[in-house]
Each structure stands twice: as structure tokens, then as C-alpha cells.
Amino acid sequence: MTPLRTTHVRRRRLGVATAAAGLLATLLTAGPAVAVPDPGDAPAPPGTVSAQDQEEARAAIRSGEIPPVDQVVHSDNITHLANVPREAFTGINSDLAFQGRYAFAGNYDGFRIFDISNPSSPKTVAQVLCPGSQNDVSVSGNLLFLSTDSSRSDSSCSSTTQPATEKSSWEGMKIFDISDKRNPRYVAAVETACGSHTHTLVPERRNVYVYVSSYSPNAAFPDCKPPHDGISVIKVPRKAPEKAAVVGFPVLFPGEGPDGGGNPGAPTNPGVSKTTGCHDITVLPSKDLAAGACMGDGILFSIEDPENPVVIDRVQDNVNFAFWHSATFNQKADKVVFTDELGGGGGATCNERIGPNRGADGIYDITGKGKKRKLVFRGYFKIDRHQADTENCVAHNGSLIPVKGRDLMVQAWYQGGVSVWDFTDSARPKEIAYFERGPLSTERLVGGGSWSAYYYNGHIYSNDMVKGLDVLKLDDRRTDPAKRVRMHELNVQTQPDYLDDFDDD
């Protein structure tokens, strides 16, 4: 078996000192997890940490418990092939999508297209400037979809920020023609209620349906008023994307309250986010299934009619989950991994003080059949490589590694780096590989790290918010069979049916 640890010879025991000031003082209150308003996945402004925590971080570096500032470390079965630094003139990096020999990387000022035909030397093909928060990115055929989750003066790529209280403000989905990868062409914009924090494609031959996830309505926002208890559905004709339009707003959390019937959050459920929409949805079109991570709720629903999804089951974890962030099916569609973004991605939650169950993944088995299927909790997974209190760290975006008969996943953990883990046994998940950098600072809590880490055609691609695109090679007998699975297109939130590829072996 390949040895896992190369640099870290001691178990990290950081985070047992007095709680730091500011955000951390709120986040680390004893008892149930204390919800921190989700900042839209944006890195928090540099935060103050105590002198004791600063010295603890420096001491951990001296002892070898954590890597020095900005130093790369990894397990023996990982090779760091390449890093392409973030362009100085662009905002922080966000999500990734893939098509053929190209990788598409979102950032808060637009998106970047890489030629990854040689994974050891990615080349920039185009950099499109189109500012907006998130800029979550997906591709389908000749179309690229870009989420905007910040209030703008208009839908153009030269827009400026404008308060959401103004009726003329715009946020939503942007659509580009990428038939010429070197010269993407902006072809359509669709405004959606409360913008588009993330989106998910449900592709068909003639049309692409887009499920738009957004949240946090406000009575003062003309285009984002409560209740906001569902998702926007956009229909995009492939041959006429300029005709893209919202065709529905299915309610996923019906109820009589001002925010619908989702998790009420505090004070009923202290430490849990109130459900006012969804953060992220993953679809499995081959099974007509979707899983939604919706702030205070996790849901399983049918997309047999893509314009009218129907909820099958709904679960909550009011003890350990603060903010249901994302979802991933396993290959057989009999499990879902949900992530909890405790602290909104801006907190130092990978330490002994927070523990192994908060800010973690929750693994749920899917039992039963048809409309009687249920989500049944089996276990938590969290990296046990404790990080310093100057490092934001929590479960974030990841993807399956397709190996027949195994449930394997690669996942981003912000400054916790990239983790490869096995959840074949739902109740006993384990890490089998990792890659990370040392803290960006030992003086302050500085936001950074891997936003998304995905497996595509034999390599792992990680979009680090501040350090740029990393390409990793994974060599391990447990994951090597995945190298034979080749995809033409990959949007992780639109999961392919890898079982078809295995049948062709």
C-alpha cells in the first residue's frame, strides 16, 4: 500500500488555545455550531487572530506539524505537475468545468480558458473579463454558462456594482458562445430572482435546462423578496440561445411562513442557517435524480420532468450542520455526500477545537425505491490534518473518481488543500491522498486555498482562489483504474453515468 504521509510525522493538535477574536469568537462558541451568514463563498477580509494563536502557528511550523508559509506538501501518491498563477488583474478564482482538451476556470472578474492537452503545461487560450460575484461556470456543446450573484448596474460585461434595492439592478445567468475558444462571444443574459449563486445544467438534445440556486431574500430588494423557497428554471434552446428565458420557479419548501417551509434556523434550531433557497444542486440525469444542498436542508428530488422537479425526501442535521453547501452522488446512486460550509468558507474550522463532525461531509445512503426513497445518515468525513487558526478551511467542492466497485472522491478544503478519500464503507470513510500548501500568513486569518478540486481524464485539477490552477497526478492502485475512463465533457454538478463507461471495458 502506498504510504500516505511524507512530511507530517506528527498528528496536528492545533486549535486548543483560547478562541480567536472576531469571526472565530462567534464561530467557535461552545455547544451546537453557530451559523455565520454565508458571504457568497467570497474570502472573508483578513481577520485578526490572537497573539497566542499566531505563536501556536509559528511553533507548529517549527516542529513540522504544519508546512511553512506557502510551502507545498503532499502524500507520496500525489505529484504536483503544474501551477498557473492567477492573473494579477482578475478577482479570486472559483469553479471549474471541462470539455475536450479545455478547462474553464471561473473568477470574480470573468473566466479563463486553458488548453490542458499537456496537463504538465496548461496554456491560457482566452481570458474573458466580465465582473460578477461567483462566476460559477459550466459548459454544454458550444455554450458556456456563467452565474452572477452580485447586484450590477446592467447585464453587460462592463457593468458596475449597484445596490440590490434599486429596481434597475441586474443579476442572474450569462450565456456565451464558445465555438471559437479563443474568442468567446456573449450571446444572452437572463435575470433570475436573487441572482445566481450557483447553477446546474440538465442537458437535452435541443435544449439545456439550467437550475439556478440563490438565496437570502430581503423585503427591500425589488427582485429578491421573500419567500424565496425554490429555484429558477431557465430553458435555453441550443440553436437560439438568445431566446433563453425563465420557464418556472418550482417551490421545493412549501409552507405558510414568510420564508416558506424550509429549516427555520435560529432560534428554533440554533447554529443552523435558515433555508431561504438552495446553495447548490447536483443532478444525475441518467437516473432522473437530483440532490440539493439548501442552507438548512438536504433534499433528494426527481427531475423526470426537468421543468417541474418533485421532492422525494428531505433531511436536516441540526446538531452538526450549519450550512448545507453541495452534494455528490456515488456511481450507483445509492449514496449522497453533502458538505457543510461552516463559517461560510471564511473561518478556521479544521482544528481540534471544532472537532471531526462540524464543517465536515455527511454521508447518506439512499434506501427504498421510487417515491419512497429515503436519505439515511451513515457517517461524517473530515480531514484530520489540523490547520492553523490563520487558515480558512472547511469542506468545499469535489468530484467522484470513477473506479468500478469503489466510492472515491477528490475534494477541495480551501487552505486545507485537496483531499482524496474513500467512502465505500459509508460509516468508515478514510483519506488516501492529499495536497496542500502552508498558511498564507501566520499573523492574520487570510482567505485562500482550493475552491474546487475535480478529477478529469486522469488528472486532478484544483482552482486555488489566490494561487491559481494546480494540476496533480494521482498514482495509487486504488485509483489507477479511473485513468481508463475518458470524458468529452464534465460539469461536476451534472454527474455523468460512469457505469456506462465501465460496461464498455
Q: Taking 60 as the threshold, does the pLDDT of residue 248 lie above it?
A: yes
Mean pLDDT of 382-389: 96
- The whole-number pLDDT of residue 483 equals 97
Q: What is the pLDDT of residues 45-77, one digit of tens each?
A: 667 888 998 999 999 999 999 999 999 999 999
Among positive and negative, which fits the CA dihedral 293, 340, 190, 96?
negative
Give me 152's grid cell.
Answer: 450590477
Report the DSSP beta bridge partners of residue 412.
418
What whole-number distance in Å separates Cα of residue 192 and Cα of residue 42?
20
Give me 172's grid cell.
Answer: 442572474
Of 354, 487, 372, 450, the C-alpha closest to 105 is 450
Residue 56 sits at φ, ψ, to 5 deg, of: -60, -40
Of 399, 407, 357, the C-alpha closest to 382 is 357
DSSP string, 388-420: PTTB-B---BEEEE--TT--EEEEEBBBT-EEE
Among positive and negative, which fits the CA dihedral 49, 54, 56, 62?
positive
Contact 137, 173 (CB under 8 A): no
- Listed range (233-237, 254-258, 346-350, 408-412) with the worst mean pLDDT: 254-258
pLDDT category at 44 given cuts 50, 70, 90 is low
* 3-state secondary structure (DSSP) of residue 303: coil
Measure Cα distances from 427 to 361, 408, 431 in Å. Answer: 12, 14, 13
pLDDT category at 42 given cuts 50, 70, 90 is low
Contact 268, 205 (CB under 8 A): no
pLDDT category at 257 given cuts 50, 70, 90 is confident
Contact 325, 396 (CB under 8 A): yes
Contact 485, 497 (CB under 8 A): no
What whole-number distance in Å separates Cα of residue 360 and Cα of residue 411?
11
Q: What is the pLDDT of residues 166-224, one digit of tens each?
A: 999 999 999 999 999 999 999 999 999 999 999 999 999 999 999 999 999 999 999 99
- The whole-number pLDDT of residue 259 equals 80
Q: What is the pLDDT of residues 142-158, one digit of tens each?
A: 999 999 999 999 999 99
Q: What is the pLDDT of residues 76-94, one digit of tens each?
A: 999 999 999 999 999 999 9
Mean pLDDT of 35-43: 42
Q: What percent of the chain has pLDDT over 90?
A: 87
pLDDT category at 499 given cuts 50, 70, 90 is confident
Q: Taking 60 as the threshold, does the pLDDT of residue 31 lie above it?
A: no
What whole-number distance in Å separates Cα of residue 110 and Cα of residue 135?
6
CATH number assigned to the domain covering 23-503: 2.130.10.10
Q: Taking 70 as the threshold, does the pLDDT of residue 28 lie above it?
A: no
Q: Taking 90 as the threshold, does the pLDDT of residue 348 lie above it?
A: yes
What element of type H or E holds 60? helix 51-63
pLDDT category at 250 given cuts 50, 70, 90 is very high
- The whole-number pLDDT of residue 505 equals 53
* 3-state secondary structure (DSSP) of residue 322: coil
The structural domains of the chain, with segments of one domain joined by +, span 23-503
Give me 264's grid cell.
Answer: 427555520
Q: What percent of the chain has pLDDT over 70?
A: 90
Give me 384's grid cell.
Answer: 484530520
Q: Provide the strand spans (E) within 15-129.
A: 47-48, 72-74, 78-84, 93-99, 102-107, 110-115, 123-129
Q: What is the pLDDT of residues 363-376, one digit of tens each?
A: 999 999 999 999 99
Measure Cα distances from 192 to 140, 223, 252 in Å. Answer: 20, 8, 16
Of 263, 372, 354, the C-alpha closest to 312 is 372
Count of residues making up the chain: 505
pLDDT category at 501 given cuts 50, 70, 90 is low
* Contacts of residue 372, Cβ cutoff 8 Å, sequence gap at least 6: none
Local structure of residue 332 (DSSP, 8 states): T
Q: What is the pLDDT of residues 450-479, one digit of tens each?
A: 999 999 999 999 999 999 999 999 999 999
- Where do we find the cell 455554450? 143
Q: Taking 70 as the threshold, does the pLDDT of residue 17 lie above it?
A: no
- The whole-number pLDDT of residue 45 equals 62
* 3-state secondary structure (DSSP) of residue 498: helix
Local structure of residue 26 (DSSP, 8 states): H
- The whole-number pLDDT of residue 48 equals 82
Q: What is the pLDDT of residues 259-280, one digit of tens each?
A: 889 999 999 999 999 999 999 9
Contact 91, 471 (CB under 8 A): no
Report the DSSP beta bridge partners of residue 398.
411
* Contacts of residue 74, Cβ cutoff 8 Å, sequence gap at least 6: 6, 80, 433, 434, 435, 436, 472
What element of type H or E holds 237? strand 232-237
pLDDT category at 20 given cuts 50, 70, 90 is very low
* Contacts of residue 22, Cβ cutoff 8 Å, sequence gap at least 6: 47, 48
